[in-house]
Amino acid sequence: MATSPTNKNFTASYNSQTYNPQSLCCIVGFACLAGFLVDLAVLSFPPSFGNIEWRIGFLQQVSDRSVILLFGLALLLYGTLDLRSWRKPLSLLCMVLGVAFSLSSILVIADGINFQKQAVTTITSQAAQIESQIQKAQTDSTVAPNVTPEQLEQAAQQLKNQANTLKSNAKTSVIKTGVSSVGNLLVVGLALVGLGRYGARPPRA
């Protein structure tokens, strides 16, 4: 049976009203933001901003999930491009978050350097204490009567090697974590700033 032009126009109009891509983007965008905020609330509890280990772990988790935030805000901005009352605040939010993410990378670098120094200092201190006990056993045979001088010398050498290995591993671990976190925060931060500027001055058709 042939379909009249009137029925075709009605069907096309119905489909365009039912399947609105911008509405779908808003739904997914809100879901991404809600998921990110829930994760953020869980990760930040209990808060301990004065603890350098807590800050490093928290910012690392935020950087790992930052792409979800970027994706959600991009979808929301696309879904509200035609709504000035929504588009302007979202654009401003994107730029503020972008600047905050970019600046937080500086905090990650500073905390990483301080944490690395603390880890090396702790390892050095513990190694010095054990080395002091070994030296005491070497000079006083009553401290460890069943241990020969050769065994004490071997223990001292192993201690030195283990301390150097732990220091090297601590530095490598901090550097890897810092580079990963800083990279994510900077990339997402700059992308959010660009997204905000795009929303503030959308391209003309």
Mean pLDDT of 180-193: 90
* Helical H segments across the chain, by residue range: 5-18, 21-43, 52-79, 84-139, 149-200
Residue 165 DSSP one-character state: H
* Higher-pLDDT residue of 42, 152: 42
pLDDT at residue 31 greater than cutoff 90:
yes
**pLDDT of res. 70:** 93
Q: Is the pLDDT of residue 134 over 80?
A: no
CA 44/CA 112 separation, integer angstroms: 19
Check residues 8 and 81 and name the one with the higher pLDDT: 81
Mean pLDDT check: name the lowest of 118-127, 137-146, 150-159, 191-200.
Answer: 137-146
Residue 126 phi/psi, 5-degree rounding, is -65, -40
123 — pLDDT class (breaks 50, 70, 90) = confident
Q: Report the pLDDT averaged over residues 116-134.
A: 80
* Cα gap 8→47, rounded to integer Å: 59
Share of the chain above pLDDT 90, in %: 20
First to last CA, the chain: 40
- In this predicted structure, what is the pLDDT of residue 98? 93
164 Cα distance to chain centroid: 29
- Contact (Cβ atoms closer than 8 angstroms) between residue 102 and residue 186: yes
Nearest CA among 42, 105, 101 for reference residue 67: 101
* Average pLDDT value for residue range 166-189: 82
Q: What is the pTM of this model?
A: 0.73
The pLDDT of residue 11 is 47
DSSP string, 126-152: HHHHHHHHHHHHHH-TTTSTTS-HHHH
Quick one: which of 123, 116, 119 has its CA closest to 163?
A: 123
pLDDT at 203: 53
| Predicted confidence band of residue 127 (pLDDT cuts 50, 70, 90) | confident
CA separation for the pair 203, 205 (Å, rounded)? 6
**Most distant CA pair in the chain: distance in Å?**
108
Alpha-carbon gap, residue 52 to 104, rounded angstroms: 14
Contact 170, 123 (CB under 8 A): yes
